[in-house]
Amino acid sequence: MEGFEKLKESGKTLILHHWDTDGICSAAIITGFLEGSSVKTMVPRIGMYSLSDEEFVNIENEGFDAIIVADLALPENDFDRLVGLSSDIWVFDHHAKKKRSDLHQFNPVARGSPSDNYPSTTWVLSELWKTPLDLLTVLGAVGDKERNIRENAVYPSMEKYLQSARLTLEELLRMTELIDSNYRIGDVSAIEEAVSFVLEHQDDPQSLLTNETWIENAEKVKKRIAIQEINANPPTKGILVHEFSSSYDIISAVSRKLSRKKDVRTSLVIQTRFFEEYDRVYVRTSDVHLDLKPILDMAQGKGHVSGGKREVMGAIVPSDENEAFQNEVLKLLEAT
């Protein structure tokens, strides 16, 4: 990749990454690539797909030669502010984002490639660096797509890897469940440690299945998600609406669980009391003919922090606007 080796000479580098398995594995792959350089990793406040003023101040005060953003679909505004903090901003991503030329943007989806070819940021990295499929690359994809990865365009090549590595999809699903438990309970230092853990243990997949901290965290998370599954009402015309309150970051997992319930094509899940004055809204669909982009556009038009892809979108909505927002979402869902 043209200009890519330059990244190795960047000096003090910050990797800002998503807190999930794909983000953690991407940060690990990049850290490995930058071997020996001074690298600090950081995640935004969990659940916030944007940086706070305080986070910007901290980044500015530390002073980085280069800032790498991995698997994190920040608002364009935040990228503008990052560009002001360092002349070297590198972005590795697979979310549907605007093409930008004021940063080194490596996001094939922003350049018009089908998102189905890029199930994860790790996949983008693997292709960029022309590395053969490895554990971290495959983990990122399974983390983002879960079982749906079997329907993905890349699955045949992933299957070949799994066979040669003597791993099963079930084992990978368990690894992602364990890694994701760290952010779900809100343990930021466990996330930081996970980046180096997966990097150091990538040749020993079994050790990812026996990490005691992760196993304990995953147990706690599992119990809380199970309660929501029990409490949910049945869907109406394929759409399931469910509201709950919790301090755990489980809205995505709850929405995944609910989407797999009988007769559910699309779920609209609302989590209250995760943030003080905001509610979280999550829409997920298994209907391949449905595109959630118009809902994302609507949320962004209203100025809500939001992000997503064709099949999933999330927004953070001020609590007093939540009801009106939900009605808009339902109107758009019913119109398609």
Q: Which residues bind Mn ion (CB under 5 A)?
A: 22, 71, 120-121, 144
Q: How far apart are CA 38 and CA 64, in angstroms?
A: 10
DSSP category for residue 72: -
> How many Cβ atoms sit within 10 Å of the Cβ of residue 253?
23
CB of 17 to Mn ion, least distance (A): 10
Tokens representing 72 are: 């994190």
Considering the complex, state which of residue 145 and residue 242 has its C-beta at the smaller distance from Mn ion: 145
Considering the complex, state which of residue 25 and residue 162 has its C-beta at the smaller distance from Mn ion: 25
Considering the complex, state which of residue 37 and residue 50 has its C-beta at the smaller distance from Mn ion: 50
CB of 305 to Mn ion, least distance (A): 17
Considering the complex, state which of residue 123 and residue 197 has its C-beta at the smaller distance from Mn ion: 123
Q: Which residue is nearest to Mn ion (CB)?
A: 22
Considering the complex, state which of residue 250 and residue 264 has its C-beta at the smaller distance from Mn ion: 250
SS3 of the chain: helix, strand, coil, percent, to 5: 50, 15, 35
CB of 56 to Mn ion, least distance (A): 23
242: Cβ–Cβ under 8 A, 6 or more apart, which residues?
Answer: 228, 231, 232, 233, 254, 258, 267, 268, 269, 270
Tokens representing 54 are: 């305080």
CB of 144 to Mn ion, least distance (A): 4
Q: How far apart are CA 70 and CA 16, in angstroms?
A: 6
In this structure, what are the phi and psi dihedrals at residue 312, rounded to the nearest 5 degrees? Answer: -150, 140
CB of 22 to Mn ion, least distance (A): 4
